[in-house]
Amino acid sequence: MEMQDKKKILITGCGGMLGRAIYDVFKDHFELMATDIDLNEPWLKYLDVRDYSSVEKVLNEFKPDIILHLAALTDLEFQEKNPEEAYRTNTIGTENMVLLARKNGILLVYISTAGIFDGEKDLYNDYDVPNPLSHYGKSKYMGELCVKGNLDKYFVFRAGWMMGGGKKDKKFIYKILKQIKEGKKEIYAIENIYGTPTYTYDLARTIFEVIKTEYYGVYNCVCKGGRVSRYDVALEIINLLGLSDEIKIHKVFSDFFSASFFAPRPRSEAMIDLKLELRNMNKMRDWKECLKEYISNIKATGEI
């Protein structure tokens, strides 16, 4: 599929940390309608993917060639307490986009997650069978199944531990950076849970390149560098900031944070980009290189 400049893309959930990167990478090449329910940027328009009729109205007016579906709930604890909300947003919201994409002949791009795996393996490739543990993972996997079961042409990209959103980053890496900015001299990081960091801008650039092709299907899309723990990432952050002599990183097990993080999580949700490698399309860089770039960008904005 050859893509010409200024094709139309509707982006859902574009107010989050990945949305910022997607917007930056795509805005000069396509006519975008960037939407979210949280209008935290001047270029966002309101759209609730859970409301079928509202989405249909927007599609009829904008007439996109592609839907880039980012909208999702990502707070695991909230979703364990409120499973209906998980399925309403992550599954029904995705079903709405799928049904309308099929009805209107629109290419759908869906962002999935490493959280669909159960952690019984150390590393997961694109062809491993998901078995999610949490309501978050289950609701996202149901979204995947809906995409695959109803569309002939689609792309699914599975991301890992996301980094790159600055103040929009609600994840582990920014939490560590925030603790450092607040002057903490001791930081506790889990060593027995494993994953693979995913830099939002590398993910956005990979999506940009892959959707130009006709190699439809599911893709793991994480940084290179293998399986790491949150302790490994925290240690690298301290080293990059030159604070190894000032800040102590304590190794802890996952039960240390069990009161706050009670949703079931896989022992390992680390992935490898096997399919991207086999098709010679893997542009994802090593997570340490990406982390260095991310921290450099945050320092330049004065956030740390």
Spatial contact of 294 and 199, defined as CB atoms under 8 Å apart: yes
User: Apex CA 165: angle with CA 283 and CA 296, to 5°?
Assistant: 75
Q: Would residue 136 show up in a list of annotated catalytic residues for this protein?
A: yes
Identify the three-state secondary structure at position 66.
Answer: strand
Identify the three-state secondary structure at position 285.
Answer: coil
Q: Are strands 107-113 and 197-199 parallel, antiparallel or unpaired?
A: unpaired
H-type helices in 211-273, by residue range?
A: 230-240
Query: How far from each other are the two terminal CA atoms of the chain, in whole angstroms?
Result: 43
Which residues have C-beta within 8 Å of that of residue 55, sequence separation ≥ 6?
47, 48, 49, 96, 97, 100
Q: In the numeric block, which tokens belong to residue 55?
A: 């989405």
Nearest C-alpha neighbor of 44 from the set 53, 52, 35 = 35
Catalytic residue among 23, 110, 124, 136, which? Answer: 136
Q: In the numeric block, which tokens belong to residue 113?
A: 């997650």
Nearest C-alpha neighbor of 220 from the set 150, 164, 269 = 269
What's the CA gap between 10 and 231, in Å, rounded? 38
What's the CA gap between 111 and 74, in Å, rounded? 12
b vs e for 45-82, b when ≥16 Cβ sit within 10 Å of the residue's Cβ? Answer: eebbbbebeebeebbeeeebbbbbbbbbbbebeebeee
Which residues are the active-site residues? Answer: 136
